[in-house]
Amino acid sequence: MSAHTLLAEAGCHIQHGCAFPAPGLNSFDFKPIFSIGSFDFTKPMLLAILCMLLVVGFFWAAFSKPKMVPGKLQLVGEIGYTFVARSIAREVIGKKGDKYVPFLASIFFFVWFMNIMSIIPFAQFPATSRFAFPVGLAALVFITYMYLTFKTHGFRGGIKNLVWIPGLPKPLVPLIVLLEFIQNVITRPFTLAVRLWANMFAGHMLIVMFSVATWYLLTPSAFTAVAGGSFALAIFMTAFELLIQFLQAYIFTLLASIYIQGALEEGH
């Protein structure tokens, strides 16, 4: 049962003797829109595809016929692209980062659009709160990181870039090599995915919780005041989520640029 189904249970109020329909993991599960064999196409998949089409369609419309004096759409596109180029790519990677701006801009706007779906009417669900989407994006960044590391430094140089710190006392070398391997090869993609997923999961859960509580407490009694407070918190959390959605897209892209910078430069 989704959060929207919980809210639709009009007969469930605190004075009607029914228990509070607390949202849980069921708020993140959806019935398949259609199925092909064992493959189920669900709402989060649809939202991810829509976000991809929005990103591609927006930038295609903005830059397919660029003008010296930009129109409104081109101007917005240039502002967004320049933000990623100057605030992330150039700031972290330097001049070498110019060639990676399209990659980083695509990641930023795709993640941001998927996050924003949480507050869009009829969508009302951040696709990035399903762990598979952050994992897929983190895997893409990690593959790029590994590819650039070994392409830039070769096989031996790439290994050295990942795990070697010069000047260590010999007894510490095995331990530090192991720790560097865990950090650069295992921890980085894991934390990159979990950070985005956990923030979107928690934010959506809080909004659903306060929304369901508002309806549950909305009765002709003193609980109406409490329901009003719950509703105010739901509005506040929705506004706060706007900031979090942007910040998480920014942080994800910033970390991706840091990994690229580390792949291009000499290790330690």
Q: At 39, is the secondary structure helix, strand, or coil? A: strand
* 3-state DSSP percent of the chain in helix, strand and coil, to 5: 75, 0, 20
> Tens-of-pLDDT digits for all 268 residues of the chain?
454 555 554 457 666 667 777 777 777 888 889 998 889 899 999 999 999 999 999 999 988 888 888 888 899 999 999 999 999 999 999 888 899 999 999 999 999 999 999 888 888 899 999 999 999 999 999 999 999 999 988 988 888 888 888 887 888 888 988 998 998 899 999 999 999 999 999 998 888 888 888 877 777 777 778 888 888 988 998 899 999 999 999 999 999 999 999 898 865 5
Work out the widest C-alpha separation in the chain, in whole angstroms.
Answer: 75
In angstroms, the CA 153 to CA 267 distance is: 10
Per the DSSP assignment, residues forming a β-bridge with 40 are 35
Nearest in space to 51 (alpha carbons), one of 113, 129, 140 = 113
Distances (CA, A) of 59 to 46, 53, 128, 167, 229: 20, 10, 22, 48, 41
Between CA 62 and CA 83 the distance in angstroms is 15
pLDDT of residue 55: 95
**β partners of residue 35:** 40
Whether the CB-CB separation of 241 and 119 falls below 8 Å is answered with yes
Q: Where do the DSSP E strands lie in the chain?
A: 34-36, 39-41
Q: What is the pLDDT of residue 266?
A: 67
- Could you tell me the two tokens for 264? 């291009």
Distance CA 268, CA 157 (A): 12
> Residue type at 249?
A
DSSP, residue by residue, 165-232:
-TT--GGGHHHHHHHHHIIIIIIHHHHHHHHHHHHHHHHHHHHHHHHHHHHHH-SSSTHHHHHHHHHH
pTM to 2 decimals? 0.87
